[in-house]
Each structure stands twice: as C-alpha cells, then as structure tokens.
Structure 1
Amino acid sequence: SAVKGQVKKLNPGGKDVLKKSDYNFADNSAKLIKNENLNSIDVDSDGFFYALDSGVYNRIFWYDKECNLMCVFGGGTNSQTQKGTFSKADTLAINGTDIVVSDSVNKNITVFSITDYGKAVRKAQTATLNDNYSETAEEWKEIIKLDKNNQLAYRGLAKAYYSSGDYDKALEYAKLGADKETYADAFSKERTRFFEKNFTFVFLLVIFIAALVAVLIHIKRKKKIVLIKNAKLRNMLECIPHPFESFRLVKEKGLGSLPLATAVLAVYYIISAISDKASGFAFNRFDAESYNSFYVLLKTVALVLLFVSANWLVCVLMGGIGKFKEIYIVTCYSLLPIVFAQIVYLLMTHILSPDEFAFITIFKTVCILYTFFILAVGVMKVHNYEFGKFVGTTVVTVIAMIIIVFLIFMVCLLAQQVYGWIATVFTEIRYR
C-alpha cells in the first residue's frame, strides 16, 4: 500500500498541522513499482512547497500550502542525459522563482524556471487560497483553455461560482474538479433554494401522500383486504416485524421459498454494487481503475453461502435439525433490513449533504444489528436451539468458515502448482 504523511508541518507543540496529514505526497505505489524516498523539500515565501522523490523516478512534486498538487515535473531513471531528467536527484532548493536540483550521478545541477502557464496557475491559486474568488474566475477560464485536464482550475472556478451565488455552475465545475467539499456546500445551497421556490407544491405533495397512505391503511383494516396473496411472499416480508412467527412457519409449515430467498440475495449483491458506483457525488469513492465487482460478490453472495455451508456442517454434528435449504432461506430473508438500509442510503446520498448524514448512518447501523438479530432468531428456530446452544454453535460456525476459506485457498494454490507442472511437462514434450 502507498506510504502516507511523508511531509509534515509541525507547530511548537510538535503536532502536524498540514491539512492533509494522511495524504500520499508522492506517486501512488499501487500503480508504479518503485521505492519512494522524499528526501528533500523546500518552501517559498507564499507557502508553496516542492518535494523531491529521489527514489527510482526522481520526480519533483509541487504543492500549495493546503497540500493541493500543482504539478509534477523532472523524472528519469538510471543513466539520463536529457535536460530536465536525472539519474540520481539528491537535493532540491528554491532560488527566487527557480528550482535548483543536484544530480550526484551526472554530477550536474539543473535549474527549472517557471513558465507563463505556471505563473498563471500560481497567481490564480494564490488568490483562491486568499478567498479572492471574484478575481480568479476569468483567470481559471483562461487556464482551462490552455489545459482542459487541470482539475485545480475546475476547483477554483467552482469556488468562484459558489461565492457569486451561481450554485448550479459551482456543482458542475466541482464535479469536474473532483472537489467534494465545494460540491456539498453548493448542493446544500441549491437544495435550499429549490425548496424555498417550490415549498407550497412540496408541502401539499407530502400531505397528499400521507393522507393517501392513511386512507389505504384504514380501508385495508376495515375490509380486511389481503394485499399480498402469495403466502410465501407474505411470510418473507413478515420476517421483519415478526421474525419468530415467520421463521416458525418456514420450519413447521414449509412457507419458505428458495426462489424468493435467492432473489433477496441477488438484490443484496446488485444494490451493494450500485451503491458503490451510483451514490451521490459528495459520497462517492468509486475508482473505475481499481474497482472490481467480483470483490462485492465475495463479500455478499459468497459470504452468505459460506455461512450457510459452515452452519449446516457444524449443526449436523451438534444436534441441529435444520436442513440446508431452511438455513439458506432464513439467512437470505434476514438480509432484508440491510437491503432496505442500502436502498435508503443510496437515495439519501442524492438528497442530503455529508454534514446531514449522521442520522442515516445510525439508521444503517441499526438495520445491520437488526439483521443479525433476526438471523439469530432464524437459526434458533430451524435448528430448535436454545440461546446458549446457538451462541456455542455460532462460534464454531465462524471457526469452520475460517477453516473452509483456508482449505479453498490451499486447493487453489495446489491447483495452480499442478497446472504449472502440467504446462511444463507439455512444453518439455513439445520441444523433444
């Protein structure tokens, strides 16, 4: 994993006061094979600092005082003769507006002078850091004309639009610049403006929906209308408010459904994957380069199947009367609170800002805890266990899950070695 916090700014008490103390100030080592070594750093009069990585790639990283990356330059490995590259960069120093770097292998000194483009970026960012947003909008626009991939320019423009009250434009440019903080602030302002403009309509809509739901509930109770005719589907939904009765019916009356249980498990996987990719921008941590939906499959579907298998194997030996099918059904049914919480979470990321999300986090935690509760009820019901025996078998089940994962890992490792041996044998036969 990448090393973080290589650069520190200490106050008199010895505390790091940099805004991004847990930030990787060099390259992401997950993408590049190298040894990082930030061994030289210098700071100019405006708080901009330059960090030299004299490891393998000899790069120079330019940051502002809030640790925003301005640019990366330099580079080179081994024997380099091209100007601006290094074989072994050792030391960096600032001389006015120039950056001076020594190379111990080439035995020379390289001087980097700032370009007109660099001066424009530095000037605009300095004004942005000093909250002079009105001065920077046109400057950032000119910078974007020169470099449409400059995220710093999009961030600066987003802040300029936010300060001028154009929240819609601020949202657009904050998204382009991956500035979640400005996006969240602009989103809150734009949402407030929307509700102020449409308060009457929203208020009447909420009243209408609440009244409609109340009337439907009253009619249902008065006429004893059964909305869900399918007994198995009705029993599945009843496991949330009445888990004891619902799981008793699964065991004694056979009111459990494999297709419904599998559907719940499939929805759990799908909504987990969608939550990673389609949550609101201010909450989204999706990285297309590193994301793998197979890992989501492992921690959802595979984890459920692993628990069901391990629990069945353990409880068969410990007096449990639950069948594999019954354990699978109650386990999948128990996922309903988590599925509901995931859906609510996904919707709320498009409605609330991060500062308002504490209640949703608590709600999601409660749903997860309730899932474990109804899972415990389901396992006790299908095996006809008392609570004490359930706790004991659950501990053994967890141990069995670890053993199964270890055995699967060993089998895969052996299979890989056998495949390599067979491939080697065929190669030998082919060349003889």
Structure 2
Amino acid sequence: TYQGIIVMDSDGEFVGFIGAQAVTISAWEILWRKLQTDEQKKVSAKLISTEYNNISITEDGFVYVTTSSIAESSVQSAINGKSKSGTYLPVKLLNPSGEEIMRRNGFWPPAGEIDYSTDSTDTYHGVSTITDVAVGPEKTWSIIDEKRQKIYTYDFNGNLLFAFGDKGSMLGSLSNIEAICYQGDTLLVLDKGNDGCIVVYERTKYGDLLIQAISAQNSLDYDEAIDCWKEVLQRNSNFDAAYVGIGNAMYRNGSYKDALAMYEVAYDTENWSEAYKEVRKEWMSKWFLLVIVLIVAVIVGVIKWFQYAAKVNKRVSTDGRAKKTFGQELIYGFYVIFHPFDGFYDLKHEHRGSVRASLVFLAVAVLTFFYQGVGQGYVLNPTGKVTTIMTQLISVAVPLFLFVLANWCLTTLFDGEGSFKDIFIASSYSLLPLPLLIIPATIASNWVSSSEASIITFIGTIAFIWVGILLFFGTMVTHDYSMFKNLIIILCTIVAMAVIVFIVLLFSMLLSKLVSLVTNLITEIQYRV
C-alpha cells in the first residue's frame, strides 16, 4: 500500500508497515498549502507515497522492492545523475527495519535500460517500467522491464551482469512479461501473452563463469576469484565488473598497487580511493619527514615571496616618479589582489600596471587551466580527458575580451571614467588568484581520494569567487562608480556579452550562407559554360 509493506508475524497477525517511500514536495507547494484555507485544503490533492508493485525476500531477511509509479522525469534525472540514493529509482533494498540500503556501485544505478530514447515516436522510449524482482544465487538479483520485455541481472553491489530478452513470438522471446522467480539456478518467467505460459531460462557458460567468480569472491577465495574474472574478461574484455572484481580480490590480498590498475580500467573511483589510501599510507610511513620538510619549505618560501613583494611595492610607491620596470608591474599584482581599492586606483592613476603585464597574467591564467586539464589526479579525471592550449586560450581570452568590450561599450554611455585599456588591465590583474590557488590544488589532486576531492573543488571555487570580487571592485574603482551603480552595470555587461555573442553568431551564419550562395552560383555558371 502507499503506507509501505505490510508486516505480519508468524501467526499471520498484523504488525505494521515498513519502507514507505518518502514524499517530496516543492517549496512552492509548501508555501501554497500554508496560504490555503481549510476548505481549499479539503479539496486539494493529497500527497501520499507511491506504492510498490512487487517484493522479493532474501535468505537474510532483506527485501527487494520495485515500483513503477515514480515520475519518469525524476527517474531520468536519477539515472543521468548516477544517483546513489533510491529516492527516485525503481528498485530498492530494504533491511528488516524498512531502511533503504541498496549498494549502487555500478557505472549506472540499477534501473533497467540506460541507453533509452526520449523520442515519443520511437517504439520503446523513456525509462524502464520495472514490475517485478527476483533474488538469484550468490546475492544476485534480476528485474523485468515490462515495456521492453527484458530481464536485467545485477550483483549485490549494483553492477549489471547481463541483460537479455526481446518482444516477439519466436522461441525465447516474450510478449507480455508478468512475473519472474528463480528455481535454483534456473530462471522462470511468466509470459501472460503466450497463454500464460512459463518460459524457462538456463544460464549460459558465460553466466556460469560470472556466478562462479562471485561465489569465489563471497567465500573469500580471492585467488580463485581472480582466475574466474580473468576468464570472464577473455570472453568480454569490456566488462567493468570483472576488472572491479579482480581489483577487489587484489585489494583483499594486499596487492594495493595492482588493484589500483584494475580500478582505473573500470573508472571505479570509490574502490580506487580505498586502495590508494593504503598505498599512500605505506608511502607516507617511509617519507613522512621529507614531506613535512617540503611543506614547511614551501610555506616559508611563499611567506618570503610575499614579504619581498610587499617590500618592492612599498619602495616603488614612495618613488612614484621613477619609471616602473616590467618586474615591478608584475609584482604589483600581488598587492592588487589583497588591496583592491588602493590597488586598482593606482593601476589607473599611478600607472602601476601595464598592458604587457596584463598579457602575462592572461597567459598565466591560460597555462593554469591547461595544466589543470592535463595534471589533475585520477579521482578528478578518471577518464584521462586532456585539453589543449588553444582550447584554454579560447575559453579564457574570449570571455575576458567580451567582458572588457561589453563593459567599455556600456560605461561610455553611463559616465564611466575608464578607457578600454584601463578595463583590460584591471580585468587581467584580477585573474592572478587563479594560478595562486588552482595550480597548488591541481598538484594536491594527485594525492587525494574521492572523499577528499571536495577540498580541491572548494579551493577552485574560492579562486573563481576571488576573481569575481576583484572584477567587481576593479570595474567600480576604474569607472569611479558607486557600489549599486556598478552592480547594475555588471549585470548589464553580462547581458551585453550575450548580445554580442548572438550578433557574432548571426553574422557568421549570414556570411556562411553568402559564401554558399556564391559557391553555388560559380558552380552553376561553370556547368552552363
């Protein structure tokens, strides 16, 4: 029922309900219900839990449940987001207390079809309609997709082992699948469309290998498990669960470095992190003192550098008439990022910066993102995706140029005192926090596990927030605006950037059409001549 699963004792007496699905309600619905009168509340739709359509109980007393009443858009979001939670997924595993405990460690959450079409004109579109679940040998379990007439089998960790079935009238095909259960190793499927017949499926040799490997793993016979998984890979070299299985066996045997290689092939960052912690622990026990010395040396070096930069900036400020060297213009950036009001004022009025220094900061920002793309640790870049200098140049220089151009166009109309050059210099100097934070974070990303990766992401977020604050105050000081007026101009600048991009795209499309027209005319003339 919508209250959950009915629980009875051995005498058939009602005990209670467990596992009721959580009801989600938006903030708008909460507010609207607060404003409703008692009469309106009586006639408004009630919010109740979605019902389960089938259950299957394991030998250990755990309960697999399925539902097909969750909104399809919610299921799609959960699948695409690789959700570990069962809130919006059609299959759950409940403990005797009714708590959801399913492991979803596979590449995709267990929900049936993953490569589904969203085109309503296709024969099978949308997510799977899961209507039954059955518990198989070695803690495996299978579900049926009523929409596609397919059966999906998973292991206890949520890895897809195999899927089969198709709608049709031929031998082995299904027309209206209704229920599923295991009888030993044999799979029994009730096909209501074929006069209510029961279709019997026996495992193939490949399926036997999978169960044998899982059995060896469950019985802690890791050497046997490795051999079985390797034999599975000989038949299917793209089977991620086999690499994970080998990695798990190697991890249990203490071969952490070998396990890392297996996890990397399967893009399994969670298990990789557990193995890496052991490798890191072993490495740190050998080189702990050296690491401490290096960290202290880096900290002392950074402090000395900032002290030197402060001394240089102070000396230059007391001798304002002297011509600034290129090095002094670069060093002044370290003053600007910590003292934005005085720093940006002197950039414009005391000429403490220059275009050449600004170009250096821009180039360093480009190189920073390039290094981030190629130097991130495995946890943050498990697929080994790389980038190019040109890609980063476009992704950094183009937005910066658009911002400068749009801001200059607007401020010339709204009493802005900064020139195009002033805006460019202030904007480029604002990029300095990016290398200061992202480069160390990228280096550190090679030493973190998945549970620590959020720290690296947080540091990157701080860098972007810092840059945003500097851009805001930089434009405010450059144009001598009030804070409120500058906020309005910044928002208008963002809109103007979008307009400029639209105009450029429109012009490029018109130009391509014109080129195509001229080409066709020339071709037509050539044929006629």
TM-score range, shorter chain: 0.7 to 0.9
CA 1:181–1:30 in structure 2 vs 1: closer, same or farther (change >3 Å)? farther
Matches of 2:285 and 2:209, distance apart in 1: 40
User: Does the CA contact (< 8 Å) of 2:136 and 2:142 recur in 1?
Assistant: no
CA 1:232–1:218 in structure 2 vs 1: closer, same or farther (change >3 Å)? closer
Unaligned runs of 5+ in 2: 1-72, 80-87, 317-324
Secondary structure of residue in 2 paired with 1:38: coil
Q: Which residue pairs with 2:349 in the alignment?
A: 252
1:45-81 deviation per Cα after TM superposition (whole angstroms, max 9, x unaligned): 345344556778x7654322332121344569xx998
Q: Which residue pairs with 2:33 in the alignment?
A: none
Q: Which residue pairs with 2:135 in the alignment?
A: 44
Q: Which residue pairs with 1:374 in the alignment?
A: 470
1:323 aligns with 2:419: yes
Q: Which residue pairs with 1:173 in the alignment?
A: 262
User: Does the CA contact (< 8 Å) of 1:19 and 1:66 recur in 2?
Assistant: yes
Matches of 2:399 and 2:113, distance apart in 1: 36
> Quick check: 381-390 or 202-211, which moved more?
202-211
Q: Which residue pairs with 2:8 in the alignment?
A: none
User: Does the CA contact (< 8 Å) of 2:416 and 2:480 recur in 1?
Assistant: yes
Matches of 1:420 and 1:117, distance apart in 2: 55
1:67-111 deviation per Cα after TM superposition (whole angstroms, max 9, x unaligned): 2121344569xx998x8788x786674564455776979xx9986
User: Does the CA contact (< 8 Å) of 2:437 and 2:463 recur in 1?
Assistant: yes
Matches of 1:120 and 1:300, distance apart in 2: 51
Q: Which residue pairs with 1:271 in the alignment?
A: 368
Match of 2:115 among 6, 11, 28: 28
User: Does the CA contact (< 8 Å) of 2:371 and 2:439 recur in 1?
Assistant: no
Aligned length: 425
Q: Which residue pairs with 1:65 in the alignment?
A: 156
Q: Which residue pairs with 2:410 in the alignment?
A: 314
CA 1:309–1:18 in structure 2 vs 1: closer, same or farther (change >3 Å)? farther
Matches of 1:349 and 1:358, distance apart in 2: 10
Secondary structure of residue in 2 paired with 1:317: coil
Matches of 2:118 and 2:204, distance apart in 1: 29
Matches of 2:406 and 2:136, distance apart in 1: 64
How far did residue 372 of structure 1 move? 1.8
CA 1:166–1:210 in structure 2 vs 1: closer, same or farther (change >3 Å)? same
> Quick check: 189-198 or 122-131, which moved more?
122-131
User: Does the CA contact (< 8 Å) of 1:276 and 1:286 recur in 2?
Assistant: no
How far did residue 191 of structure 1 move? 1.0
User: Does the CA contact (< 8 Å) of 2:441 and 2:459 recur in 1?
Assistant: no
Relative contact order, higher structure (CA 8 A, sep 6+): 1
CA 1:272–1:149 in structure 2 vs 1: closer, same or farther (change >3 Å)? same
Unaligned runs of 5+ in 1: none
Secondary structure of residue in 2 paired with 1:148: coil
Q: Which residue pairs with 1:342 in the alignment?
A: 438
Correspondence 1:10-409 to 2 at 5 A: 11=94, 18-20=102-104, 23=109, 25-29=112-116, 35-39=125-129, 41-46=132-137, 47-51=139-143, 60-73=151-164, 93-94=180-181, 96=183, 97-98=185-186, 112-128=201-217, 133=222, 136-206=225-295, 230-284=327-381, 286=383, 300-409=396-505
How far did residue 423 of structure 1 move? 6.9
Per the normalisation by structure 1, the TM-score is 0.77
Q: Which residue pairs with 1:7 in the alignment?
A: 90
Calculate percent identity across the aligned residue pairs.
Answer: 25
- Partner amino acid, structure 1, of 2:246: L
Per the normalisation by structure 2, the TM-score is 0.65
> Quick check: 249-258 or 199-208, which moved more?
199-208
- For the pair shown, which has the larger CA radius of gyration, 1 or 2? 2
CA 1:294–1:121 in structure 2 vs 1: closer, same or farther (change >3 Å)? farther
How far did residue 155 of structure 1 move? 0.7
Matches of 2:177 and 2:390, distance apart in 1: 43
How far did residue 317 of structure 1 move? 0.4
What CA RMSD, in Å, does the superposition of the two structures yield over aligned residues?
4.6
CA 1:312–1:288 in structure 2 vs 1: closer, same or farther (change >3 Å)? same
CA 1:103–1:231 in structure 2 vs 1: closer, same or farther (change >3 Å)? farther
1:337-378 deviation per Cα after TM superposition (whole angstroms, max 9, x unaligned): 123322122111101223234544443333322222221221
1:191-244 deviation per Cα after TM superposition (whole angstroms, max 9, x unaligned): 111111223443445556666777888999999999x86232222343223333
